[in-house]
Every structure is written in C-alpha cells, then in structure tokens.
Amino acid sequence: MNYAESQATDRQRNAFDAATRTIHITRQDMDRLRFLIKSIQSSKARDDRDRPYLWTLESELDRAVVVNAEEVPPDVVTMNSRVRLQDGPMAWIVTLVFPEDADPEHDRISVLAPLGAALLGCHAGTTTSFRVPGGSLRSCEVMSVLYQPEAAGDMDL
C-alpha cells in the first residue's frame, strides 16, 4: 500500500470512528481550534509538518458536540487536560495543549500531533487509534482524566 492509499484508508477509518464515537468540546476550545486551523491553512510561512494532521483535527471538530464549559463531563479530554494513557504494558501521562505550548520532552502534546488530535474529546475508558510519523498505526486507552480545566473551574486556560 502506498502513502496515498494509506491516507485514504486512514480517512475511511476516521470516518467510521467519527460515526461511532461522540466527542464533547467547549465553545471556547472549538473557536480557538477553528481559528488555529484557518491560520495554518492560510499561512505560507508555517512549517508544513502540521498540515497533514489538520484534516484529522478538522474531522474531530466537525463531529463534536459543542457544550458549555460547565456541562463538559469531568472524564472528557479537553484542551489543557492531563490524562493517563495505557498502551499494552506501557503507561504514561500527557497534557493536551495548543501547538505553541507543546513540549514532548515534558509530555505536553500538541493537538495537531496525531496523538493529540486523537485524544481530543475522548472519555476515560475510550481506546483511540492514531498514525504516527512513519506510518505505523498505534492505539492507546485513556485510563483516566487526571486534570480537566473545566472540572477544576479553570476556565481561562
């Protein structure tokens, strides 16, 4: 399978996943992420490494249920949430952040990264799949949401 076929297969899989998994997102996160996408799409100077993942993030946003910050279930991964993930015997904790705050060495994962886009809106107990650079398909389970700004009353992050 070549790269184009792999991308088409990913889009089909994501379309199926989109139809079977509901995600929740706050109006504030939705507005900021839509603005981010438009900025990247219109920017000629932006590093092109983010562009391949925009369609993944866009598809997540297109199917998201927009809710008030106070209505987000506390087990949902929102922007700036810290979550515990499990992939087989490997467990780790990451924080989902906007690109300007990303720092993979400190487990701050951009929403534009494959894992970041896959995590947005997931509930604890959800297994999500994502394609890593190089083409391998990985999956992990969201074991728990350790911190969610909305649940903590931190609405200004």
DSSP-derived 3-state class of residue 2? coil
DSSP-derived 3-state class of residue 44? coil
Residue ranges with strand state E in the chain: 24-26, 65-67, 82-87, 90-97, 108-110, 127-131, 137-147
Give dist(CA 83, CA 146) in Å, integer: 5
Question: What is the structure's pLDDT at 12?
Answer: 44
Torsion of CA 59, 86, 93, 81, to 10 degrees: 40
Give dist(CA 71, CA 65) in Å, integer: 11
Residue pair 37/103 in contact by the 8 Å Cβ criterion: no
Residue pair 76/121 in contact by the 8 Å Cβ criterion: yes
The β-bridge partners of 139 are: 129
pTM (predicted TM-score): 0.79
Question: What is the structure's pLDDT at 19?
Answer: 47
The CATH code that applies to domain 3-152 is 3.10.50.30
Residue 2 predicted with pLDDT over 70: no
Percentage of the chain with pLDDT > 70?
80
Residue pair 137/131 in contact by the 8 Å Cβ criterion: yes
Chain-wide mean pLDDT for the chain? 83
Per-domain residue ranges for the chain? 3-152
State pLDDT tens for residues 108-143.
Answer: 999 999 899 999 999 999 999 988 878 889 999 999
State pLDDT tens for residues 47-99.
Answer: 565 566 787 888 888 988 999 999 999 999 999 999 999 999 999 999 999 99
